[in-house]
Amino acid sequence: MKRLPKVLVAISAIIVLIMALAIIVLRLFLPQINEYRNQLEGQLQSLTGIPFKIGHIEGEWVSFGPVLTFSDVSVSTKKVNIQVKKIKFSLDIWRSLFSLHLRFRDIIFYQLNADCYKPLEFVSEGDFSHFDLDALDELFLQQFDYFTLKESRITFLTPSAEKKTLKIPELTWLNQNEYHRAQGFISLDNFEQQQDQDAIQIKLNLRNKNGVINSGTVYLQADNVNLRPWLSRWLRDNTGLQNAVFSLSSWITIKDSRIEGGQLQLHQGQANWQVDGQEHQLAVDDLLLTLHRQENGWLFNIPQLQHLKTDQQQWLEGQSSLLYLPQSKADENHWRIRINNIQLERLRTIIPIFSFFTPEFISDWQKRQPKGQLVALALDITPGKPEKALIDATWQDISWIRWKDIPSVSHFSGSLRGSQQSGRCSFNLNNSFIEYAPMFKVPLEISAGQGTIFWSEEGQSRQIWSEDLMLQAKSLSTTGDFRYQTAKDQPPILSILAGAKLTDAGDAWRYFPTTLMGKDLSDYLTKAIISGHVDAATMVFHGDPANFPFKKKNGQFQVVVPLRDATFKYQTDWPTIFDLDIDLNFERNGLWMSAPSVKLGDAKAVDLSADIADYSQSKLLIKSNITGDGQAIHNYFIHSPMEGSIGKALDAVKIGGNVSGKLMLDIPLERNSGSVIASGPVDLKNNDVDITAIDSQLEQLTGRFYFRNGDLKSEKLQAEWFGQPINLTFNTINERQNYQINVNVGGNWQAKKIAILPKSITRQLAGSTAWQGQVNIQLPNQLKQNPTLSIALNSKLDKLTSKFPALDSKQVRQLGDMQIRASGDTRQLQIYGDVGKQVSFNSQWQFTEKQVRLLKVAIQPYTAKGVVLPDSPLVMINLPEINDPKWLSFLTSFSSLNLAPQSYGKSFVIPDIAIVNLPKITFAKQQWNNMACTINKTAELTTIVVDSDNLKGSLSIPKQGDWQAKINYLYFNPETSFQQQNYVAINNLAQRYDISAWPNMNIYCSECWLAGYKLGELKAQVIRNRQTLILKEGSLINSSTDLKISGIWHADQQNSTTIKGILKGNRFDDLAAYYGILVPIKQAPFKIDFDLNWAAVPWQPDVASLNGNLSFKLAKGAIAQMGGGVAGQLLRFISFDALLRKLQLDFSDTFSDDFAFDAIRGNANIKNGILNTDNFYIDGLMADITIHGKINLVRRDMNLEAIITPEIATTVSVATAFAVNPLTGAVVFAATRVLGPLWSKISVIRYRITGSLEQPKIDETLRQLKENQRDDK
């Protein structure tokens, strides 16, 4: 025992010596160790099983042991390839000796670059029990107690399959028995250019049991770190995540070799990503997320959602949790979702994260964009067994956009509880919009709605039903319920009973189910119903929805809609119907509408029906009886598509009075499937019809015509035209370019009843005339074109009788017939024809809204070639010779005819120039030859110029003022005779003249010839006062005559004429000589006063009614021997010539030559054609002659007494005779000497003159001698 210490000392010394030798050897060996590099590589590979490559090895000995430095080391395995710039091993030799285990004082890896081939992910849901540790892992986790990494990099594949590099500025790892601890900083390059100061701080505290990490904690803390690389590939693909930069703290708990739970606290940060091209952002502020393992699943929880913001919108206070139970042998995958108080619009941007769960659901969610508050949601669902899903949800003010078959909704609140077997859903709508196109055309505007829907499933039977459904929408309120049932081997049955009230039917189109009704019907009713109200509509539905609309009557569908006070437009281009009460009956696949009475404007339709028998035919049939006045019917059609057809026809033919008929409309509802067909009969009874094209009216029109669109066709119609009966038929043809109206009309008229002619003409006519006419009217479809007219009229004259003076019955019948033709349009019309092939005419007319203008007219004797119109606007009349003076009476018969078409309400304009040519006309008992009359009208003056052989002059007619007649030359020599006439008949032929239009006129004639005598200068003024013409200041002045005359003509039923005047001159024989008349009166200044009147026209005195006074006085003169001529006729008128001849026979020696006188004077009055005088006195030189008595001018006989008193004895008489005429004076002087004794013995001689004016009878009744006279005394 005593030697033991020594032994120990010796052993210790040996050991120390050995160690010293070893150290010396190592001191000498270590610097040369690189020479043994290959052997060392092989030795390391045999120990670890990992191939090593070392570029260079350095070694040295320090106080605590050897220090080895490996440079350019590379290691490669199946998972990783490692390159190390330098590894420094500092072995603590002393600790290693005492522990009998290699203890390194320090292991430092410089610039380690590791390239991992596989992503860093756990093999099984965070389970580390199957984590594969190869030799390299064992080396680092077990062999190295302590090591440090500096300036190192680890390149790896992230879960998103991106290759990234983990930079490790410095990391210290400590392995102590079963525990592994690490602390340091890490960072990822190429992400937001993270700097070292922004690196992630990491702390690990793990426990290794049996080579497997069994438990521990991982702690991470980082500021502004980009987590995008750490997110999975599905998250990147579904969200378009651009970055996720957060400041965070995270704890991960590992237990039993798997992750037990974790907690992530996001202090600050945000993530940015794109969805459908739109930028989105998620921001957090101290948000806590927890993850716990629960049984075999995971429970994910966010307790405070208000720490989230998406797109700058903060979330409500709420929480959410998700429990995922993975598939096991007994059950499928199971999810339990619990959410409280979440705004759905906040989920839209982040929900793509869950696309792995159900991509279709997420896609639909994105399309619908739901909004509103999810108050609470509890959902238990097993994707493999959806029938076992349970739900309990409450929501408030939810809305979403329509997508697929689910309509959009807004402001939708309610609750849903139950499973597939049973449940209930209560809902409430408040100011909601529901879009369900194409079922409804526009979103439904729901002001209020509520109800509860139930469902249940028992075996093979299922049913869904409702209770207390109520809906109030725009103008609509409805209540009702439904039940839908299905059973095994049985068709489903849907039953609906609902009632509705509609305050404004103009909004009904909003609620038409287009897909059920059909688009054509829906579009039609949308346009048709404009306004109105429905108080109680009812809908009944029962049957299999698949059989709708129950064409085979295997179900019931009916909607009864009593529409009241409606405005209805049954066709877009037909007139709108107002105040309509109509019942709409939607039954199965048809619609039947009926109304007892309908107002069609001012017209009325009764018993109206509008039916769509089958929606598939898309045809509406309307039938109705229509009554109303013609103007109302016209107004109705003029505002319809028939405007260009029936409307035009009714424009041309305006019907007055009540009209009845039927209207049938065949309306196609499909586009491009044809046009509307309007048809039906129209009944007329005693209607008045205005034919506007010819400005005429048919009265008491009776009959029926039919229309089919624009084509009209009548039966035989009866009417009165101008007071006469006619028969007519008409038809219309709706051509491509024109609408043509053809009218055939005819009649047999009594001449006296033709109202178009003035009574002055019809009074002279009798008998009848048969006529036939055709009127063709073409109404162009182009509005810029004018309607065209074609008129043909033939009238028979062979049964007419006439009382006209110049046109008797025989002459009228010889005319045969009259033909009138017209062609043109409503703006311009040419009218031409002939009368009995005696007179042809042609005229051109122009019509405007305010005027009827005669442009041109030509009248001439008949020609088969037709009359050529003049080139310029004028009236050209070429008349034949008119020889019968009775034509004057015939022409005056037309004086009351007013040519202005008053019925138009327009002014009548004729050409400014008119020319009338006559080769010869007999007028006023004279022939007027080569008569040419030109009328020229200006704005202020109308001038008429006459040029003929007998008359040359002009008439000026001013717009205001008196007319001026200036006659340059007038030769008027009527055929007059004092032969006995039937004066009684004169006045009987007289007629009433209308002189109401006769103007005031000033007349001047510079050279006037009357009866072959030149009158001289003639002046006169004619003034009209109603039906009276007054002649004032009439004068006739020439070298021998001065005539002053005035007169009055009353042109009433009994024409009367009054003239007054004075005719005077210096020599009576000069007066006669001026006019070329040989008279027996010589010298004798004269003055004649006259005041006469008669009951006839001025130019045709009526002797039977002649009244008045005559006063005449001739001064000294002589009466020569009687001769012929006019002078002799004048003396013979009072039988003075017969008296002188009697004296010449009795006293031939005394009265053989001229009879000298000192004066002739006397007065006479005329009454009813009988002239009376009692003081006709001739103061003769040889004798005084006094005549008294009367002359009947009507019977042309006389009863006169002449008293002759001789005066030859007086010397005064001789002197007077010499003064008058020397030759006469000598004869008188001789007579006094030779015959004095005999003549002086006679005192008085009386003669009785009787007989006719042509053959007077003179009887001497008394011859008294002077001596007898004295005896008597």
Question: What is each CA distance from 215 to 179, 182, 187, 206, 421, in whole angstroms?
Answer: 10, 15, 25, 6, 46
Best CA proximity match to 743, nearest among 709, 716, 776 = 776
Which residues, at least 6 apart from 166, have a Cβ–Cβ distance to it below 8 Å?
153, 154, 155, 156, 186, 187, 188
Beta strands at 875-878 and 913-923: parallel, antiparallel or unpaired: parallel
Cis peptide before 549 (omega within 30 of 0): yes
Dist CA 862 CA 875 (whole Å): 17
> What is the radius of gyration, based on Cα positions, of the chain?
70
Residue ranges per structural domain of the chain: 962-1115, 1116-1273
Up-side HSE of residue 441: CA atoms within 13 Å toward CB?
18
360: number of Cβ within 10 Å: 8
Tell me which DSSP letter residue 576 carries. P
Amino acid 517: pLDDT: 76
Best CA proximity match to 1085, nearest among 1158, 1192, 1183 = 1158
Dist CA 1177 CA 620 (whole Å): 111
- Interval 1024-1069: pLDDT, tens: 888 889 999 899 888 888 889 999 998 877 789 999 999 998 888 8
Query: To 10 degrees, the CA torsion angle through 521, 526, 529, 531?
Result: 160
Dist CA 241 CA 243 (whole Å): 6
Q: Where are the alpha helices (DSSP H) in 663-796?
A: 759-762
CB-count burial class (<10 Å; 0-12, 13-18, 19+) for 1142 = buried
Cis peptide before 596 (omega within 30 of 0): no
Is 93:105 a contact under the CB 8 Å cutoff? no
CB-count burial class (<10 Å; 0-12, 13-18, 19+) for 1152 = exposed
Amino acid 1221: pLDDT: 41
Tell me which DSSP letter residue 1041 carries. -
1072: number of Cβ within 10 Å: 22
- Interval 155-209: pLDDT, tens: 877 666 677 788 888 888 888 878 888 898 887 665 444 444 457 888 888 888 8
Dist CA 68 CA 87 (whole Å): 8
| Rounded average pLDDT per 10-residue block, the chain, 1273 residues | 67 72 74 83 78 86 84 85 88 77 82 79 45 53 76 78 80 84 78 53 85 84 76 59 84 86 89 78 90 86 89 89 76 84 84 64 81 91 83 93 86 92 93 86 90 90 92 93 90 92 90 80 84 92 88 90 88 81 90 88 85 84 87 78 70 80 85 79 87 73 86 89 87 81 89 73 82 86 76 87 74 82 87 87 85 87 87 87 64 44 58 87 81 88 90 90 91 61 42 77 88 82 89 87 90 86 87 72 88 88 91 86 44 52 54 73 92 89 86 89 72 41 41 44 76 82 61 49
Dist CA 791 CA 741 (whole Å): 12
The sign one gets for the Cα dihedral 1027, 1033, 1038, 1040 is positive
Instruction: Show the 3-state SS of 899-926.
Output: CCCHHHCCEEECCCEEEEEEEEEEECCE
Dist CA 1170 CA 1195 (whole Å): 9
Best CA proximity match to 760, nearest among 1053, 992, 985, 988 = 992
Dist CA 879 CA 256 (whole Å): 141
